[in-house]
Structure 1
Amino acid sequence: MTSEPLSLGELLRSRREHLTPDDVGLESFGRRRTAGLRREELAQLAGVSVDYLTRLEQGRSRTPSRQVVAALARALRLSRTETDLLHRAAGLTPPGSGVVSTHVPAGVRRMLSRMSDLPLAVFAADWTLLGSTPVWQALFEAPSVAADPNQNLLVQVFVDDGVSKIATAHGGADAFERALVSDVRRSAADYRDDVGFRTFVADLRARSPRFAALWDEGRALTGTALTPRSRSG
């Protein structure tokens, strides 16, 4: 007799309860009544609201977007197999190895508009900036995408030696750089057939000894989550 597959909410709760703040690069304050990450912590890591995450876990919302599921999978440090399972539980086709998308869904655009008083940014899987709120732009001294459509966080960090304020907000330069490289390594595996992405990584390795060194370490590095954010791809 086979058991029923876990629902989306059950998968999210189960994985969240098996992670610790240390696993995802967060500081833990005070004693915890229950094991695992708090909902507030996972919501912060994935760039979604606590209310929305609660509705997903309780089964009151069953149709998250592909971008939200991908963000949750990354925040939960899911393996490729686990990520596929999470997508299927959400009624979505698991991600393939195609081309990195720069499409920003209408729902994400509405979120940026409604939450314009918060520092939010939307990035593609290769960390190209796709959209941001005025508060994000002011906080991190970054132009809007309309003003500069070619902003890429990896280039800004490893080539231009910029965005020190973001690094400071996420554990310092070393932790921030390691988190970025760890994330882009996972994206490179997801989009292994994207020639443009492979070329971008190769060019970045040639331009930045620091990026090349971290890339060549080849470890599944954990670090601070780059929040608040949403990822498209």
Structure 2
Amino acid sequence: MSDNALGDFLRARRSRLRPDDVGMASYGVRRVAGLRREEVAVLAGVNVDYYTRLEQGRERRPSPQVLDALSRALHLDTDARAHLHRLAGAAPHHRPVQQRNVVSPALRQLMDGHPNTPAFVLNRTLDILATNALADALYSPFNPADNLACMTFLDPAGRDFYTRWDWTAQATVATLRHAAGIDPDNPRLNALIGTLTERSAAFSTLWQAHTVRGKTQDAKQLNHPDVGPLTLTYQAFDVRDAPGRQLVIDHAEPGSPNAEALSLLGAINAIRRQTARDPHP
């Protein structure tokens, strides 16, 4: 990863804004997209030379007040603003404790107690650490179904499975950017980013956009080969005894075609599991 993460982030976010977006008049020929450095400096109320040093990595410790001003100037949302503060070392930053990828028996029992809803556990790098039976069935088109980012960008099934693939791809990269701001030295995260950058041009392009976002609550629009189109909402819960992990539960509106499709998917999966256990009943 770059040794000037703060400057990279500022440049990327500056390039995404036009003068019209911030109520400024445009003048002269622009050699590159986005706002000029001096325009950001004016909007943030800082000296243009100081802002230039921030982007170039010659100044790495702006005050929280300057960071807030830059957040407003660059129209950063809550997640992006927190990420900017972390990059500058201005937010509390306690190095996360590296944990073994083990999910407690109690949590597994809780997941298995919801047979009608797909449930799985993720870590910050989007590794799938545990699933219940219906989650296994839902993500059965992927081989292996072990990491949401790899499933999205590297598995050929991803573009058919995710109906809104472009949206899914952007959200996935934004989540990994968020994770990188929290734990930039995580070896698993850095290895994953390196693999995705090398093997997926789409990932590499999105990664350079520096979009930051935690998990949203937007609906998932999927296309499963066994039951067809599915629209599911989901809830994500922090696992209290394992910081950085989340329990994700997908669900469909009761009585809806999506709920019926999930029920059918569960039945198909149960038959397959039974057949695998006893192929000659």
Give the strand-richer structure, 1 or 2: 2
TM-score normalised by the chain length of structure 2:
0.42
TM-score, length basis structure 1: 0.49
Higher RCO structure, 1 or 2 (CA under 8 Å, sep 6+): 1
